[in-house]
């Protein structure tokens, strides 16, 4: 796996695909600059080598050129974050852009306008990719959040740099972290899979089944499993068309000796609302009119035991409706248990769903070993898919 550490960038222009698709408020202030900070080590290494950096990214989902999606809005914030005054050019291909790139001096950074102002970006257009390729000497992909897309700047452009292409430090770290969890892991390995629906996590569960010792299934998706096991789930969220899939997963787990842990009690509510009445019920005996919205106290203790005993932990998806304070306790306790296990030497990776938001919301982010920056991309990797942006560099 070639990374920027395998290249010396002295007098070289690095064409870097970053993921600066950051959330902006109405005044175009960045509300979460995690993705910019995540790209910083890659940019700095290139500058410190004595090279220059040309940054390309998308922002949002513009239809053609739309000022609200201009990357010009984030130039000051990027400059602040990396500590270098960033130059900006109001297109990403064409004569003006080529001129700006050619004039860029070692130690300087140039940010290109939103790639998605051109429909060719998402179409993976080869001519457009070739125009981008003219701007730099070495292509660096550091955009993990877009690595599952075969777009011009994330995948197609790599073919114009047969020898001079590599991963940035962020993308390399994402790949290594997942590898550390699923392949090169220390046992026991526990995966916590939560979230609303089992349908969105079936491929993940099937792919990790062989690689982990325990799978904790929490959140809304647990009720489909509890129902197929004969439990009474009241009005809890369920996917009746996935009951057989859930049964197949339980059978497969038995066959492979993977332990599946389901909630044993739940905090149920008489409405999907912060102001609902709540009551604790056994997870397999929830009366009609009540829906399970969080893990119950016995479940939290049980899940925490499993976590405490684990040397490697993957966390994907909350175990309750954590957005509502009343139903956040299970997710907080689980997060605390993972934080403690991590402090005791376990490796923990959080990614691929709302668990990243939960970890940030509850102030646990710096207590995890690694937090993935790419939701969809991490989910596809967990499903065992190869990502086009990664393949294009390895090829
Ligand atoms: P995901 O994006 O797959 O990680 O799913 C996250 C969503 O699942 C969050 O918005 C949670 O509120 C939701 N969720 C978790 N537990 C439940 C539950 N018991 N009932 C309904 N939704 C849930």
- Look at strands 265-269 and 291-295 and give their pairing: antiparallel
Domain spans of the chain, in order of start: 4-170, 185-382
User: What is the chain's mean pLDDT, rounded?
Assistant: 96
Residue nearest to ligand 1 atom 12, measured at CA: 321
Pick the CATH number of 4-170 from 3.40.50.1260, 3.20.20.70, 3.90.1150.10, 3.40.630.30: 3.40.50.1260
Across the range 358-375, mean pLDDT stands at 94
pLDDT band at residue 48 using 50, 70 and 90 as cut-offs: very high
165: which strand partners? 139
Helix (H, G, I), strand (E, B) or coil at 234: coil
- Please report the pLDDT score of residue 341 as a whole number: 98
Ligand 1 mutation target, pool 227, 276, 318, 324, most atoms within 8 A of CB: 318
Q: What are phi and psi of 170, to 5 degrees?
A: -65, -50
Four-point Cα dihedral 234, 239, 240, 246, nearest 10: -100
From the CA of 353, give the closest atom in ligand 1. 4
- Please report the pLDDT score of residue 161 as a whole number: 98
Q: Before 188, cis peptide (omega within 30)?
A: yes
Three-class DSSP labels, 55-71: EECCCCCCCCCCHHHCH
Residue listed under structure tokens 């993705």: 35
| Structure-block tokens of residue 66 | 């739309």
- Please report the pLDDT score of residue 265 as a whole number: 98
pTM for the complete prediction? Answer: 0.92
88-117 burial, b at 16+ Cβ within 10 Å, e below that, comes to bbbebbeeebeebbeebeeebbbbbbbbbb
Q: Is 352 in the pocket of ligand 1 (CB under 6 A)?
A: no
From the CA of 200, give the closest atom in ligand 1. 3
Q: Is 200 in the pocket of ligand 1 (CB under 6 A)?
A: yes
Q: Tell me whether the CATH fold assigned to 4-170 matches the one assigned to 185-382.
A: yes
Phi-psi region of 23 (alpha: psi -120 to 50; beta: other; left: phi over 0): beta
Q: Has residue 364 got a pLDDT over 80?
A: yes
| Structure-block tokens of residue 319 | 């175990």
Share of the chain above pLDDT 70, in %: 100
Please give the CATH superfamily to which domain 185-382 belongs: Phosphoglycerate kinase, N-terminal domain (3.40.50.1260)
Would you call 197 a catalytic residue per the annotation?
yes
User: To 5 degrees, how large is the angle CA 223–CA 348–CA 5?
Assistant: 135
Q: Among 220, 231, 353, 389, which one carries the catalytic annotation?
A: 353
Tell me which residue of 131, 91, 89 sits closest to 109, measured CA to CA.
Answer: 89
Q: Is 219 in the pocket of ligand 1 (CB under 6 A)?
A: yes
Q: Has residue 352 got a pLDDT over 90?
A: no
Q: Tens digits of per-residue pLDDT, 150-197?
A: 999 999 999 999 999 999 999 999 999 999 999 999 999 999 999 999
Q: Tens digits of per-residue pLDDT, 95-123?
A: 999 999 999 999 999 999 999 999 999 99
Q: Has residue 353 got a pLDDT over 80?
A: no
Distances (CA, A) of 306 to 14, 60, 214, 303, 326: 45, 40, 8, 5, 24
- Please report the pLDDT score of residue 343 as a whole number: 98
375 or 301: which carries more pLDDT confidence? 301
Residue listed under structure tokens 């080529």: 98
pLDDT band at residue 225 using 50, 70 and 90 as cut-offs: very high
Pure H helices in the chain: 34-49, 75-82, 95-103, 119-123, 126-133, 169-182, 202-208, 222-228, 243-256, 297-308, 329-343, 355-361, 375-382, 388-394
Whether 112 contacts 54, CB under 8 Å: yes
């Amino acid at each position: 796996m070639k990374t920027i550490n395998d290249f010396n960038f002295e007098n070289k222009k690095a064409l870097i695909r970053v993921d600066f698709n950051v959330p902006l408020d109405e005044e175009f202030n960045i509300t979460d600059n995690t993705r910019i900070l995540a790209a910083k080590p890659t940019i700095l290494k290139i500058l410190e080598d004595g090279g220059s950096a040309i940054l390309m990214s998308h922002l949002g989902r513009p239809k053609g050129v739309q000022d609200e999606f201009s990357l010009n809005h984030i130039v000051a914030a990027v400059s602040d974050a990396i500590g270098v005054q960033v130059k900006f050019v109001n297109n990403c291909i064409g004569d003006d852009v080529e001129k700006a790139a050619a004039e860029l001096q070692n130690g300087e950074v140039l940010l290109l306008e939103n790639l998605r102002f051109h429909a060719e970006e998402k179409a993976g257009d080869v001519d457009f990719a070739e125009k981008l390729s003219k701007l730099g000497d070495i292509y660096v992909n550091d955009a993990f959040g877009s690595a599952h897309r075969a777009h011009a700047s994330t995948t197609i452009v790599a073919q114009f740099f047969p020898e001079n292409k590599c991963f940035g430090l962020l993308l390399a770290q994402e790949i290594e972290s997942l590898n550390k969890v699923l392949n090169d892991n220390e046992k026991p390995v526990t995966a916590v899979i939560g979230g609303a629906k089992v349908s969105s996590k079936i491929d993940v569960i099937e792919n990790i089944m062989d690689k982990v010792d325990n799978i904790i299934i929490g959140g809304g998706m647990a009720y489909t499993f509890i129902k197929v096991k004969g439990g009474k789930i009241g009005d809890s969220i369920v996917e009746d068309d996935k009951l057989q899939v859930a049964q197949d997963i339980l059978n497969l787990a038995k066959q492979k000796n993977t332990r599946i842990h389901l909630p044993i009690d739940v905090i149920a509510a008489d409405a999907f609302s912060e102001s609902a009445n709540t009551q604790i019920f056994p997870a397999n005996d929830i009366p009609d009119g009540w829906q399970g919205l969080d893990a119950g106290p016995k479940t939290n203790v049980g899940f925490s035991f499993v976590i405490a005993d684990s040397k490697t932990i993957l966390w994907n998806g909350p175990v309750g409706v954590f957005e509502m304070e009343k139903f956040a306790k299970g997710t907080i306790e689980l997060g605390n248990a993972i934080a403690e296990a991590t402090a005791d030497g376990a490796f923990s990776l959080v990614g691929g769903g709302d668990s990243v938001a939960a970890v940030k919301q509850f102030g646990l982010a710096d207590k995890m070993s690694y937090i993935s920056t790419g939701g969809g991309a991490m989910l596809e990797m967990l499903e065992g898919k190869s990502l086009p942006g990664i393949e294009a560099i390895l090829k």
